[in-house]
Amino acid sequence: MTQTLLLGLGAGLVSALLFGVLLKASALAIALYLVAPLPILIVGLGWSHRAALAAVVAGCVALTLFVEPFMGLAFAAYVALPAWWLAYLTLLGRDVGGSLEWYPTGRLLGWVGATAALSFVAMAVVSSPDYAAFETQLNRLSHAIMDPRGTNPAPKAGPDVANRGQVEQDQAKQDQAKQDQAKPDGAAPSPAEQAAPADKVEVSRDEMAAAFAKIIPALAAHGLAMLLTLYLWAAARIVAVSGRLMRPWPDLPATQMPRACLAALAAAAVLSLAPGYAGVLGVALVGSLSAVFALQGLAAFHDRTRGRPARGMILFALYAVVFMTQGVALFALTVFGLADTALDRRRPKGPTPHNPATP
């Protein structure tokens, strides 16, 4: 037990170091930050969830004491606790008829989606306890993405609002002058032209940025769910190679999430209409659950092509389309995953030592 806890403490310090180098804001620092959950997942899968929990505590305490309290909280919310929780679920099992039945991979995949959304919202609350400040951050990020050259900066609070109004009035005068020059001499503007807003381009751009800001939590949680799945798979592979993985390797193409995940997705869509951080959680859940349903669709595609000729070429073409089209292909996989979960028409599979029956 002591050795296990010491390993957990060491893994937590390594993970905290990988997370802390993000302050350097370099390409190497970002690359190291992206693998920060791996040490906790490895000790959690290779030894026990207690070792992973010791890693959580060690990393949080180290960052709090030697960097700043915010970094400790951010590490716990976004890296450490999600890694510990997924490692704990992966090694969860129960005795059924004298044999050990492991936690189903379909339910684990559903928890990956929920964990990603909760982690994003927890990080948002830690960084901006005031929802208005968080909303302002999202708007600024949205304007930066929509207008990377900075020609139409996001509105700021305070006296800048009045300045922005003056700028819009000046722009309106310039647009009107251009329209007057383009008309024949003596031509009067039509009533429609007089009533049209001169700053319609700016308003449209602001509306697009505001709409994009609403879906940023969904996009962020979508990406985090994909990363957590990759982390969990990579950590399990590393531990399996070392011979310390306590559960047999599951049949991943047979992964199928329970239908309760469909109800969770519908509830998340309703929750997204709520104000404040509750609505942010709903939007994030929609994004993260869409990601895991896309992975469900990918698993179903692998499962349904078993035994077919040229299966390798079919899968290669699928992955090529996914990487080339990105969003379009992921949307199609998400729809396929939703249909696969709702219809439940997979081939029946009996329990095997490597794929025990799910509860």
DSSP 8-state class, residue 76: I
Among 125, 7, 150, 14, which Cα is nearest to 74's? 125
Give the residue with greater pLDDT, 59 vs 191.
Answer: 59
Q: What is the sign of the dihedral through the CA atoms of 257, 259, 260 and 265?
A: positive
Q: Which burial class, exposed, middle or buried, applies to 353 when counting CB atoms under 10 A from its CB (0-12, 13-18, 19+)?
A: exposed
Give the residue with greater pLDDT, 46 vs 356.
Answer: 46
Question: Which range, of 18-27, 135-144, 198-207, 253-262, averages the lowest pLDDT?
Answer: 198-207
Q: Which burial class, exposed, middle or buried, applies to 348 when counting CB atoms under 10 A from its CB (0-12, 13-18, 19+)?
A: exposed
Find which of 181-190, 193-202, 208-217 is predicted with most confidence, using mean pLDDT: 208-217
Residues 198, 30: Cα–Cα separation, whole Å: 43
Per the prediction, the chain carries an average pLDDT of 82
Distances from the Cα of 248 to the Cα of 106, 237, 238, angstroms = 15, 11, 14
Q: What global pTM score does this model have?
A: 0.80
The stretch 263-273 carries a mean pLDDT of 95
Residues 281, 268: Cα–Cα separation, whole Å: 8
pLDDT category at 356 given cuts 50, 70, 90 is very low
